[in-house]
Amino acid sequence: MFTRQNSVGLFGIDAYMVGVEADISSGLPAFDIVGLPDAAVKESRDRVRAAIKNCGFTFPLGRITVNLSPADVKKEGSLYDLPSLIALLVASKQLDGDFNDFAFIGELSLDGQVRGINGLLAMTILAAKKGVKKFFVPQVNASEAAVVDGIEVYPVHNVPQLLAHLTGRENIKKQDKPDISQGKYEHTPDFCEVKGQYVAKKALEVAAAGGHNILLVGPPGSGKSMLAKRLPSILPQMTFEESIETTKIHSIAGTLSPDMPLITTRPFRSPHHTVSSAGLSGGGAIPRPGEISLAHNGVLFLDELPEFTRMAMEALRAPLEDGQVTISRASGRLTYPCSFMLVAAMNPCPCGYYGHPTKPCSCNANTVARYLGRISGPMLDRLDLHIEVPPVNYEELSATSKEETSETIRKRVNAARKIQQDRYKGFGFACNARLTPAMLQKFCVMTPAANSLLENAFNKLGLSARSYDRLLKVARTLADLNDTNLIDAQHIAAAIKFRSLDRKYWGQ
C-alpha cells in the first residue's frame, strides 16, 4: 500500500516542503530510504523500526521504500523520523485517517520519544504559507513554532501520545502563542559605569544611531572592551520582522534557547581571535551560519583585531558591503543575511603602549609597522569611525559625578533612527550605514560650506571613494542626531575627526 505524509526540509535559511512517501509491497524484507538522504537520514531506518516495535505496533514485513521528495534535493538530519513512522503505520493499515492538511517533524528515540530539531521557525513559516493546518512538532520546540500565525502547532512528547490524538482517543492541547515582549535592558551593562572617555562614548552613540562600523584603538586597560560591551544598551529595540529573521538564523544554528522562542534583544557576538574564516562566515558540508550571520541585526565585536588571521579579517570585507554572505559547496550555494555593526578594538602596538603619554613603548618602529600592517587598507576603509581611547586619568576615575546613563543616550539614538526609518521607508533598509552610493546625492544634501570643507579634506587627506561615501553617511547621522535635514560644515568636521585616527597610526 502507498501513502504520503507532509513534512518540511531546510536548505540554508530557506525551507521547502517535503513529501514522505511510503510503499509496502510483497517481496523479500527490505527497508530503503531514497531521495538523496545523508547518513543521519539513512540511520532513520533503525530508529523508526525500534520505535514502532517499542510502542506496541508491528513492523510491517515486505519490501519497504520510503521516498523523500523532491528527490533531487539533499536531505540532512534526523527530522524525518516522525513522518516516516506515521507513513509506515498508515501504509501498513495500523493507522487510519486523512492527514492531508497535517505536517509532521521530529527525531525519534528508540522508545518513541520525540526529540527536538533545529530550524523549526523557518519551517513553520513555510508550512503556514503552504496551507498546512496542523503542525505536529517536538514538544521542546513547540513555543518557537507557535510564534507563527495562521497554523495550529501541537507539541508531541512521544509517539503513543501522537497516535492517541490522531485516533481521537486523547487530544493534544494546541500550543499557546508565547508571550512576546520587547527586549529589556535591565541586565545589560550601562554606560554610566564608564568613567570619562567622552569622545569614545559620543562616537559609539553616532555608530548606534546610524548603524556604522567602528574601530577603537588604545592601550591596555583604557576601557575599549568595556565600552564595546555596553553598545547593545543604546541600540534601538528590534522590530518584529527583525526578531523573526534573527531567530530563524539562531534556530538553524542550534543556538536558540527553549526558554527564548523569539529573540527580542539585538545579538552581541564576540568570537575569539583564534576563530577561522569558516567560523566567521559559516561552513560545513551543508553550511551552517557563522558568527557574522549570528550577529545579524546586532553587533559583531572583534577584540584584539590584529590577532585575527588575515584570512578571517578579509572574509569580512564583502559581507560588510553587501549585508549577506554567500557560501558555495558541492551540495549547493547558500546565502545567509549578515547585516551587523562591526565593532573592533586593538592596541596600537604589540606591547600596547605606543603613543602612551606616560608609559614607554618597548617596540621598535618595524615591529609597530608590522603589527599595524596586519590590518589591510581595504579593511580599514570599511570602518566608518576610527576612535582613539586614551588611558583614563585619576581625576576621572575618582570623580563622584554621575555619568550619562544608557537610557538617556538611547532616547537620542531612537529619535535619530526614527528619522531614518521614515526617510528610507520602502527602500528595504532603515539606517544611514546601508545607503548605497546612488542614494547619497538624494539623501545627503550639504550646505555650500559643508561641501567646500569635504572637498578640501578629500584632496588633502587623499581619501578613497569609499572613504568619501562613509564620511557622508556619518555626517548624515550627525545631522539626524541634531534633527536637521541639511548636512552642515560642523557635521562634516565631526565626521572627519572621527575618521582621522588612521592618519596617525597608518599614515606613514
3-state secondary structure of 387: strand
CB 36 within 8 A of CB 79: no
CATH 3.30.230.10 for domain 2-166: yes
pLDDT at position 70 is 94
> Going along 271-409, which residue ranges are E strands?
282-283, 288-289, 299-303, 324-329, 332-337, 341-346, 385-388
pLDDT at position 491 is 96
pLDDT at position 446 is 95
Q: Where are the alpha helices (DSSP H) in 240-337?
A: 240-253, 277-281, 291-294, 310-314, 317-322
The type of residue at 8 is V
pLDDT at position 502 is 65
Give the span between the Cα atoms of 386 and 457, in whole angstroms.
Answer: 16
pLDDT at position 161 is 96
Model confidence band, residue 438 (pLDDT cutoffs 50, 70, 90): confident
Cell of residue 455, nine digits = 572637498
Give the span between the Cα atoms of 480 and 89, in whole angstroms.
Answer: 63
Cell of residue 15, nine digits = 525551507
3-state secondary structure of 161: helix
pLDDT at position 428 is 84
Give the span between the Cα atoms of 472 and 439, in whole angstroms.
Answer: 11
Bigger pLDDT: 237 vs 302: 302
Give the span between the Cα atoms of 322 and 3, in whole angstroms.
Answer: 45
**Which helix (H) or strand (E) element contains residue 1?**
none
Which residues 6+ apart lie within 8 Å of 117 measured at CB?
Answer: 77, 78, 79, 105, 106, 107, 138, 141
CB 231 within 8 A of CB 267: no
Pinpoint the residues of the chain covered by CATH 3.40.50.300.
191-505
Radius of gyration of the CA atoms of the chain, in A: 28
Give the span between the Cα atoms of 12 and 371, in whole angstroms.
Answer: 37
pLDDT at position 55 is 94
- Whether residue 70 has a cis bond before it, omega within 30° of 0: yes
pLDDT at position 186 is 67
Q: At what angle do helices 489-497 and 448-461 cross, to 10 degrees?
A: 30
pLDDT surpasses 90 at 462: no
127-136, 177-186, 249-258, 457-466: segment of lowest average pLDDT: 177-186
Find the mean pLDDT for residues 4-14.
92
CB 108 within 8 A of CB 85: yes
pLDDT at position 355 is 84
Instruction: Name the pTM for this structure.
Output: 0.90
pLDDT at position 328 is 80
**How confident is the model over 107-135, as pLDDT tens digits?**
999 999 999 999 999 999 999 999 999 99
Find the mean pLDDT for residues 171-198.
84
CB 122 within 8 A of CB 14: yes
CB 194 within 8 A of CB 223: yes
Find the mean pLDDT for residues 426-433.
89
**How confident is the model over 361-394, as pLDDT tens digits?**
999 989 999 999 999 888 888 899 999 999 988 8
CB 338 within 8 A of CB 295: yes
* Length in residues, the chain: 508
Give the span between the Cα atoms of 209 and 206, in whole angstroms.
Answer: 5
| Strand 282-283 relative to strand 288-289, pairing | antiparallel
Please identify which residue in the block is written with the cell numbers 500500500.
Answer: 1
Give the span between the Cα atoms of 85 and 383, in whole angstroms.
Answer: 53
pLDDT at position 507 is 62
What Å distances lie between residue 62 and 67, 75, 81, 362, 376, CA to CA?
16, 25, 20, 79, 64
pLDDT at position 257 is 83
Find the mean pLDDT for residues 417-423.
94
pLDDT surpasses 70 at 166: yes
**How confident is the model over 52-99, as pLDDT tens digits?**
999 999 999 899 999 999 998 888 889 999 999 999 999 999 999 889
In the chain, what percentage of residues exceed pLDDT 70? 97
Pinpoint the residues of the chain covered by CATH 3.30.230.10.
2-166
Q: What is the mean pLDDT of the chain?
A: 91
pLDDT at position 503 is 66
Please identify which residue in the block is written with the cell numbers 554610566.
Answer: 192
Q: At what angle do helices 44-54 and 81-91 cross, to 10 degrees?
A: 60
Domain 191-505 adopts which CATH fold?
Rossmann fold (3.40.50)
Cell of residue 93, nine digits = 493499515
> Going along 347-418, which residue ranges are E strands?
385-388
